[in-house]
Amino acid sequence: MAHKFPEANKSFGQHFLNSPTVINKITSPLPDGIDAIVEIGPGPAVLTPHLANYHLPLYVIEMDERFVEILSPIVGADYIYRQDALLFDWESFLKKHNYKSIWLVSNLPYNVSVPLTTSFLRIPEIKHMTLMYQKEVAQKILPNDPRNAMGSLHALTLSQFELKHVIYAPPGAFVPPPKVDSQVLGFKRKDTPEIQLTQIDEFEKYLRLIFSQKRKQLGGILKNQWGEEETKRKLQLAEIDSKVRAEALTYTQVLKLFRA
């Protein structure tokens, strides 16, 4: 479907996807067991018609009022939420509709992609996500090379989801072209996550601590927070050398230290 795009609103971080290959990779296949689809920031309905073809309840969250007229014939006016996705009331939405397995799809606004992702982690009814990021951010969530690449965003998302690379999107895949490369990631919620959602805030606080200076030796970082003796005890419990740099930790080690 050819699109005549309006002028992008820079305050919303708009870059309209215009690559049939990337569009197809984002919108197919339909994950198993889905009972509703939510699209964040659909803009001029690039992905929306493809998602509508699955004939499931399809909701869109869009701040820009210019696109309501385009979206209404596709999803229906009652399925459009004109608001900031960061402020969306998921609790009321789920209480009203009682969906158990949602597929979340978005060409995320890059300026809020991280806070949106960390908020989605906390909603157990979101079982699958297909999300577009600035490549630099995507690499923090799912590094191509796991060596010396551990970080808080990778560990946090991995605690709840299985992660996979979907497709890269160069600047030319968008109108207007961004100044950076982009990457689409796929998320599938784990049946048995390593960290329960009741612990997720505590886990995130812990991750911020150990990765606050991730190129420094872990023992030195923790000693300032926990004291020398407590740091030594916890690292021994987790079987981790105090001289290891936080970025060189494995996911298993991150979990062991948290539990210690």
Please write the tens of the pLDDT for every residue from 167-182: 999 999 998 888 899 9
Going by pLDDT thresholds of 50, 70 and 90, the confidence category of residue 15 is confident
Q: What predicted TM-score, i.e. pTM, was given to this entire model?
A: 0.92
Coarse DSSP helix, strand, coil percentages of the chain, rounded to the nearest 5 percent: 45, 20, 35
Locate the domains of the chain by residue range.
Answer: 10-189, 212-259
Rounded CA-CA distance 128/54 in Å is 15
What DSSP element (H or E) covers 237? helix 228-237
Please write the tens of the pLDDT for every residue from 19-60: 999 999 999 999 999 999 999 999 999 999 999 999 999 999
Contacts 24+ apart (CB under 8 A), 21-26: 21/167, 22/167, 22/169, 22/173, 22/184, 23/47, 23/50, 24/50, 25/166, 25/167, 25/184, 26/105, 26/107, 26/130, 26/132, 26/166, 26/167, 26/184
Domain 10-189 has CATH 3.30.70.60: no
Cα three-residue angle 51-26-116, rounded to 5 degrees: 90
